[in-house]
């Protein structure tokens, strides 16, 4: 079990704390709504040696302790990278939505997707919204990520969550009970998937154009050496 605390921001801008005793973590993979976009992401990963999924979407169960709100994560080597995703968290105050990164070891991913996801921490923001406040205009939410690689900041992902399966659809396929969290899928990257080296960073944003507000999180990678 892992404990995470969120600052839950209301529609009016007020906020209140919410602590979650997390006991379950799920990653929704291959969760695109557009089959062409799914094929694009499959092709991106195939270029790295990752096998095609047996079906789409797939739901990967991971250790809840992987979820972190730290501003730095430790990974092994320089072959891992992140992906901006909406994250649903079932707290005692109801279902919350925040922004996170499904950080994954791309080299291990060629061996086994589930294993590659289990060996990397999963960063999430400290701020969150109530799911009920955004579910009515879910498709208008916007994901964005900037990668800071070798000191150079560039746009890495950008687009509407309308290209992904709606959260309500995912919840029907894989319910999120109390104490659980689920990453809801990601967008294709701009310029191809890259590995993150020591000191590289990923900046994440989830923007709500209807209520004119944005959730943000950034984290840096510390790449530990591979000793043989």
How would residue 175 be classed by pLDDT, with cut points 50, 70 and 90?
very high
Dihedral, 206, 207, 208, 214 alpha carbons, nearest 10: 90
Per-residue pLDDT tens over the stretch 48-95: 777 788 788 899 999 999 999 999 999 999 999 999 999 999 999 999
CA atoms within 13 A on the CB side of 109: 27
Parent domain of 84: 2-11+19-224
pLDDT of residue 109: 84
Helix (H, G, I), strand (E, B) or coil at 150: coil
Whether 31 shows a pLDDT value over 90: the answer reads: no
CA atoms within 13 A on the CB side of 17: 3
23-37, 59-73, 91-105: lowest mean pLDDT where?
A: 23-37
Between 98 and 33, the higher pLDDT residue = 98
* CA distances for 136 relative to 120, 147, 166, 177, 186, angstroms: 33, 30, 11, 21, 20
CATH number of the domain within which 104 lies? 3.90.850.10
Whether 44 shows a pLDDT value over 90: the answer reads: no
How would residue 112 be classed by pLDDT, with cut points 50, 70 and 90?
confident
pLDDT of residue 48: 74
Whether 36 shows a pLDDT value over 80: the answer reads: no
pLDDT of residue 49: 79
- Six token digits for residue 40: 């694009």
pLDDT of residue 139: 97
% of residues, the chain, pLDDT over 70 = 100
CA atoms within 13 A on the CB side of 200: 24
pLDDT of residue 147: 97
The answer to whether residues 219 and 201 touch, using CB atoms and an 8 Å cutoff, is: yes
Helix (H, G, I), strand (E, B) or coil at 213: strand
Mean pLDDT on 135-139: 97
The answer to whether residues 58 and 32 touch, using CB atoms and an 8 Å cutoff, is: no
Secondary structure E strands in 65-191:
67-68, 72-76, 80-81, 84-91, 94-101, 104-105, 122-123, 127-130, 142-149, 152-160, 180-183
How much is the pTM? 0.94
Whether 200 shows a pLDDT value over 90: the answer reads: yes
* Nearest partner of 13 among 216, 218, 217, 214, judged by Cα: 214
Number of domains in the chain: 1
């Amino acid at each position: 079990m892992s404990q995470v605390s969120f600052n839950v921001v209301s529609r009016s801008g007020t906020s209140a704390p919410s602590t979650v005793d997390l006991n379950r973590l799920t990653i929704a993979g291959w969760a695109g709504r557009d089959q062409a976009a799914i094929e694009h992401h499959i092709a991106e990963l195939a270029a790295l040696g990752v096998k095609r999924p047996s079906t789409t979407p797939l739901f990967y169960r991971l250790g809840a302790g992987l979820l972190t709100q730290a501003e730095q994560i430790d990974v092994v080597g320089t072959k891992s990278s992140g992906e901006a995703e909406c994250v649903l968290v079932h707290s005692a105050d109801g279902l919350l939505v925040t922004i996170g990164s499904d950080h994954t070891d791309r080299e291990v991913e060629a061996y086994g997707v589930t294993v590659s996801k289990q060996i990397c921490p999963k960063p999430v923001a400290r701020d969150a919204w109530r799911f009920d406040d955004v579910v009515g205009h879910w498709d208008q939410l916007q994901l964005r990520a900037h990668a800071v690689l070798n000191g150079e900041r560039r746009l890495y992902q950008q687009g509407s969550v309308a290209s992904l399966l709606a959260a309500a659809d995912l919840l029907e396929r894989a319910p999120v009970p109390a104490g659980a969290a689920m990453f809801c899928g990601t967008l294709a990257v701009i310029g191809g998937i890259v590995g993150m080296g020591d000191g590289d960073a990923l900046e994440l944003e989830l923007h709500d154009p209807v209520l004119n507000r944005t959730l943000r999180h950034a984290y840096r990678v510390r790449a530990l050496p591979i000793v043989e």
